[in-house]
Amino acid sequence: MDLTPRHRLPYPLPGPWPACAQALLNRGAAWLHTGGTGDGLLALPGGPVLTSRWGGAAWVTDLNGQTRPGTPWEALESALLEHPGPWIGAASFELACDEAVLPRQALPLDTPGQHWQGLWQALHIREGKAELWSWEDTPPDPSACAPLFKADAVLAPVPLVLLPRWNEAHHRAAVEAIRERILEGGFYVANLCVPFDSVFHGDPVGLAFQAFLKARPPFGALLELGDLRLLSLSMERLLSRRGDRLWSQPIKGSAPLTGDTVLDRAAAEALAADPKERAEHTMIVDLVRNDLGRVAQTGTVAVSQAMTVEPYPTVQHLVSTVEAQARPRLGLADLFRAVLPGGSVTGAPKHAVCAHLAQTEAAPRGFYCGALGWIAPNGDLDLTLPIRTAQIAGETLTYWAGGGITRRSDAAREWAELHLKTRAIMG
């Protein structure tokens, strides 16, 4: 994580980490989590807030309550120039579809599309030790954090009961419909997603602590987005930029991870050799190469790592790395329009697949499968694809799971894969 603060000071934590973060998180702090012990960045409350909401005919973007001109991506790009620090937040799948001129489901009025908080100060945590980071002109005053930061007991999480919004027969029919479209030549691969619902009476912070410890996500997050809490356990890098270097790490292909060394090694070997998984993965890598190629210098797009099996606590995935050099003076809005929504959560070709999914899936995805992470004023950024992500509004929790459908897909296996992917958040 490279956010380059202007000032950094050691900060004595008032209690054991991560439990002592609860007070901050309950006051609106944003947590970008990078390890099982809670390493990462905890953005302190305050700073400018940029939001976009669906106005019925177009997205309406506000910065601290003042309407901003332009499209949501253009408004975000201009806001970056007005604040000295980075921004943390998320954008929805549907907003990304609109910016890329892709079909998507109809949205209720006032649906949130993006929410970004400009950072003034943050706590950077590594191996239980903290530094106070600041992007202000003057060094931070550690005593100013004391009223916000205190050791609180973490409430015990309430076990979740997740129920898919449609049954296996419905999913089988949806898979077969996609396979028919593929056989007819309509598209090559489509990522079909299903929402799982739960009544949630617990504490989102307690749920996050439990889930982070179990899933150890490299791109985890707990964000407060207005009246919505977003808990992401993602392991997929959507897009990173450092100067003119761009890279993405699409994931396609899944197998269980049991903890039994012999069984897991056999599962990894089978995953790496599976014709369906390899074909699906190859198509998505080609789509990501094409997306980056739209904004890259000619001849610079390359696959630097192909189909590596990477283990996570509950699942193994096939992962590749696609890199490119950005064309000169590439702006944020143009970059986002080329890459978002991510190829691994749409399919190929994007327009045809998104048109089909808009008529097929049970609901709009919201922030699931959009983009989440940080963006610096100089254009550097780290964005994850918010897969393995719960959206919590009041006592309603929605957690989506999905999978890529190809002509080789087996509907029963696809249904089982959805449930495998819910294990990351289950107690």
Q: Which residues are catalytic?
A: 236, 252
Q: Which of 192, 109, 140, 157 is nearest to 405 (CA)?
A: 192
What are residue 205's phi and psi, to 5 degrees?
Answer: -70, -45
Is the four-CA dihedral 267, 268, 269, 275 of positive or negative sign?
positive
Output the CA torsion 387→390→393→396 (10° steps).
130
Q: Give Cα 197 distance to the centre of its chain.
A: 19
Write the CB contacts of 329 (distance below 8 Å, at least 6 apart in sequence). Answer: none
**Contact by Cβ (8 Å): 194, 411:** no
What CA dihedral angle connects 280, 286, 291 and 294, to 10 degrees?
-170
List the beta strands (DSSP E) in 185-244.
Answer: 189-199, 219-225, 228-234, 237-242
Nearest to 381 by CA among 328, 337, 332: 332
Q: How far, CA to CA in Å, does 202 sit from each of 212, 258, 320?
A: 16, 28, 37
